[in-house]
Structure 1
Amino acid sequence: MRGAKALTLLAMLLLIIAGGTVFFHRVEGWSWLDSYFFTVVTLSTVGYGELVPATPMGKIGTTVFILVGLGIFAVAIQQFGAFAVKKREEHTEWLIARLGHRHPNDQEEPEAANDPDTPESGER
């Protein structure tokens, strides 16, 4: 289920980027590259300000694009972040389980590598 959710979010993100690119190319008359660049910069909230919609339809479309696209973009970033954190937790649990497994013949605790050397009582 997690994989399907990630693919759905990725597909929605790609769809909103493609839709924005086509919209700005047609409405503003920008090149495909400029339209794509503006779409990604606007969606990611970076907003360099190099390109600015000049037509009323472009301005209205940009505000709608920001409201819809930013929500999808934020959810996608949050989900991919949550996935990364989950993987990190699973790896940490695996490491703890692996390090916690000792051979049954080991009777005494192994010495930790970071324990400070302390003199025995009576030694100086």
Structure 2
Amino acid sequence: MRGVKALTLLAMLILIIAGGTVFFHHVEGWSWLDSYFFTVVTLSTVGYGELVPATPMGKIGTTVFILLGLGIFAVAIQQFGAFAVKKREEHTEWLIGRLGHRHHPDPEPDAANDPESPDR
């Protein structure tokens, strides 16, 4: 099930980037590369400021794109991060099992001034 979720998020991310690229290419008249660059920079909230929409439709589209796309982008990043952490945990558990070690913390040694110490 995790695979389907990851593929769905990846597909949504690709679609929002492709949609933004096409939109800015046609509305602002930018090159495909500039449109793609602006889309990714806007979604990632980096915002270099190199490209700025000049048309009213471009400005309105950018605000809608930010509101829709940022949520999708944030969820995708969060999910991929959670997936990476889970994989690392699974690998660590496998490695510990493979090495035959079980983690048992050492009991704390008795304090020298412990009144219950058998040395007294």
Q: Same fold (TM over 0.5)?
A: yes
Moved more, 56-65 or 109-118: 109-118
Structure 1 pair 105–81 and aligned structure 2 pair: CA distance change class (3 A): closer
Deviation at 1:10, TM superposition (A): 0.4
TM-fit CA distance, 1:99: 2.3
Number of matched residues?
Answer: 119
Q: Deviations over 1:81-110 (max 9, x none)?
A: 00100001101111221223699999xx99
SS of equivalent to 1:60: helix
Change over 3 Å in CA distance of 1:105–1:68 after alignment to 2: closer
Q: Distance in 1 between matches of 2:80 and 2:59?
A: 30
Change (3 A) 1:94 1:26: same
- With over 3 angstroms needed to count, the CA separation of the structure-2 counterparts of 1:91 and 1:24, relative to structure 1, is same
Alpha-carbon RMSD across the aligned residues, in angstroms, is 5.7
Q: 2:42, 2:35 → 1: CA distance?
A: 10
Give the Cα separation in 1 of the matches to 2:41 and 2:74: 14
Q: CA–CA distance in 2 between the matches of 1:73 and 1:114?
A: 58
- Taking a change above 3 Å as real, the CA distance of residues 39 and 114 of structure 1, as seen in their structure-2 partners, is farther
Q: CA deviation at 1:53?
A: 0.2
Say if 1:105 and 1:40 are closer, same or farther in 2 by CA, change over 3 A. closer
Percent same amino acid at aligned positions? 91
Q: Which runs of 5+ in 2 are unaligned?
A: none
TM-score, structure 2 as length reference: 0.82
Matches within 5 A, 1:74-89: 74-89=74-89
Contact kept? 2:110, 2:117, Cα under 8 Å:
no
Q: TM-score, normalised by structure 1?
A: 0.79
